[in-house]
Amino acid sequence: MSVFKPVKFGKYLLLEKLATGGMAQLYKGKMIGVEGFEKLVAIKQILPHLVEEKEFISSFIDEAKLAAMLHHQNIVQIYDFGNMEGTYYIAMEYLQGRDLRIIINRAKEIHKPLHLEQILFIMSNICSGLDYAHKMKDFEGKPLNIIHRDISPQNIMITYEGEVKILDFGIAKAATQRTLTQMGMIKGKVAYMSPEQAAGKIIDYRSDIFSAGILFYELVTGRRMFTGETMQILANVRDAAFEPVATIIKNLPPGIYKMLNRVLAKEPDQRYQSCKEMLSDIEACMFGPEKIDYNTNVQEGMKDLSLMPTASGLARYMKELFADDQEKDMQVFRNTGEISIADDRTNIKNNDRGGKADAIPAAEKPQEKIVTQPRVEAPAKEKKKLPLLYVGLGVALVLIAIIAVSVFREKPAIVQDKTITPSASEPSGMPVEEKAPPDSAAKPEPAPSPVSKAEDLLEKAISLTDTQSQEAKSMLLEVVKLDPQSVKGHFHLGIVFMKLKDYPNAIETFKKAAALDPKSPDTYFNLGYIYAINKDYPKAEEMYNQVVKLSPTYLDEALFNLGIVQDKQGKREQCIENIERALKVNPKNRMAFEYLARLKGKS
């Protein structure tokens, strides 16, 4: 494995490459200034081959400009944005800690769940950050109407100092933005959506409030609010069908039940109407007349930590969970000071490009092409993040979580390699268990079934899809060999083939997934995407028509793509009809609006 050598990037020194995804690459770096000034940062850099893609660049600019406007102690800070050395980049705050998903998983492993006052402290900080973003105004005093859209455990960071940070406003939207989030993608994680978001309806900031309520529920009960197959989860989220907290935990203060019932109301009008309103109730529960008993455990097996609801108390808890990891992370942090950068400082003084980024270019109009990206949600089971991805790699992989939504789930990376046609051999039978001798107390454990092996291998492969596509492909080929009926295995193998631009194998693999699960709109959407970019518009139209029949939450996007491929075939009337249908489903679909305006302008 090649060792990354520090390289100068304008006023930054790139110290280590952390990850490469389909859209961007992430570096740990140092900001270098005069008189020896240095600051550790994370650099998100667009992949070179995407620099000419005007719609993506416009979206990236919107993301950077929006995120840079947010200055709050509970939101990850964006320091810089620009175009340097032929590529766009974002420089952001470098955080040392763990995201809430890793914290929850570690707490379960060592049987030290969060105490109630720590949960309330975390939720109060989340509400504070969201309230700030929701009320943000532009320089003319007009509300930006920002909605995060993906409040989930992976996007809540707890630092070793006990700070709570909301991550990844990359799919957040302001009313004045020129571009939409990548088309063809479910915005946010299904199990943390609001009912209206899961139903594909127009949403406002109260959708974020419901998502925050799901986090609150999970932290208090120690279990996820929505579980099961992806489509089952989606249906339950739409109906707000979940087990009430009162049936799971009996000894909570009455104020906690009231807050959870209100924040998780199906109808937005019945929820808290602002995060500030919810924050007031949380603070009243912590410090008011209904102050909680800190000696009362919430979840079974919880130890009394005797902590007050403060950052220092949360920091002590983080140390209990991650004592060894924290020391490793701190060592990595200290080691960055050992790299000599004297030559780079000299170069910066004598290089005009080094210390100054180019101005942000004006927005470009959407091009008349397929602007949708392939869907990467599995059609069967909800994707799981493996904590082992992060443990041992320290701060580096924490940062992957920071931009995971915006960097790693969009466009396939360009990798040239021969691909192997998936095998469809039948799984071998279960081994026969032998009986232990009469005088033996121990019985041999039965060997895991091929399906069980396939499931374990599948999760590992999914985690490697974006960073090690070839290895993921090999694993997924083994998955479908062990379990030829695995819809999820075939689906993700198709995604990997797409990333490798092996479209013939991708088509065949998605066809197998569709045969196993003919009601998965994601599979047909990806087939439509492949046919469209290969200019097989009749086949693409057939696939998108199938998606429309299944009426997924992203129906407006399917209709929009259907209209585009019909336009490519000269079916102008059908194209206009479907673009208009897309706008009826989602009147805020600006790309559909602009495309329709251009079509009618040509008439």
| End position of a domain, from candidates 322, 353, 374 | 322
Per-residue pLDDT band for 443 (boundaries 50, 70, 90) equals low
User: Does the structure show a pLDDT above 70 at 358?
Assistant: no
The domain total for the chain is: 2
Mean pLDDT of 331-356: 40
Mean pLDDT of 423-431: 34
Residue-level pLDDT at 499: 85
Residue-level pLDDT at 83: 85
Residue at 142 is within a domain:
yes
| End position of a domain, from candidates 322, 341, 376 | 322
Per the CB < 8 A criterion, the answer to whether 494 and 504 are in contact is no
φ and ψ of 77, to 5 deg = -90, 135
Same domain, 266 and 119: yes
Residue at 509 is within a domain:
yes
Residue-level pLDDT at 437: 46
Query: In 483-571, where does DSSP find H-type helix?
Result: 487-499, 503-516, 521-533, 537-550, 555-568
Per-residue pLDDT band for 463 (boundaries 50, 70, 90) equals confident
User: Does the structure show a pLDDT above 80 at 391?
Assistant: no
- The DSSP string of 55-99 is HHHHHHHHHHHHHHT---TTBPPEEEEEEETTEEEEEEE---EEE
| 101-105, 413-417, 470-474: range with lowest mean pLDDT | 413-417
Same domain, 244 and 133: yes
Residue at 420 is within a domain:
yes
Same domain, 308 and 419: no
Q: Residue 483 belongs to what domain range?
A: 415-425+450-602
Token digits of residue 513: 């997934």
Residue-level pLDDT at 45: 85
Residue at 458 is within a domain:
yes
Residue at 172 is within a domain:
yes
**Comparing C-alpha atoms, which of 217, 329, 316, 326 is closest to residue 265?**
217
φ and ψ of 165, to 5 deg = -125, 135
Per the CB < 8 A criterion, the answer to whether 105 and 64 are in contact is no
The CATH number of residue 469's host domain is: 1.25.40.10
Other C-beta atoms closer than 10 Å to the C-beta of 333 total 15
Residue at 403 is within a domain:
no
Residue at 457 is within a domain:
yes
**Higher-pLDDT residue of 16, 129:** 129
Residue-level pLDDT at 103: 95
The CATH number of residue 207's host domain is: 1.10.510.10
**Distance (Å) of CA 548 to CA 88, 518, 556, 557:** 36, 13, 9, 9
Model confidence pLDDT, tens digit, residues 108-138? 999 999 999 899 999 999 999 999 999 998 8
**Comparing C-alpha atoms, which of 39, 40, 52 is closest to residue 16?**
40
Residue at 518 is within a domain:
yes
Strand partners, 42: 28, 92
| End position of a domain, from candidates 287, 322, 357 | 322
Highest mean pLDDT among 7-11, 68-72, 574-578: 574-578
Same domain, 456 and 311: no
Model confidence pLDDT, tens digit, residues 81-99? 888 877 888 888 888 889 9
| 14-23, 132-141, 166-175, 380-389: range with lowest mean pLDDT | 380-389
The reply to whether the predicted model has a pTM over 0.75 is no
| 56-60, 219-223, 392-396, 558-562: range with lowest mean pLDDT | 392-396
Dihedral over Cα of 482, 488, 492, 497: its sign? positive
Same domain, 239 and 121: yes
Which H, E and C letters describe 124-171, residue by residue? Answer: HHHHHHHHHHHCCECCCCCECCCECCCCCHHHEEEECCCCEEECCHHH
Other C-beta atoms closer than 10 Å to the C-beta of 354 total 19
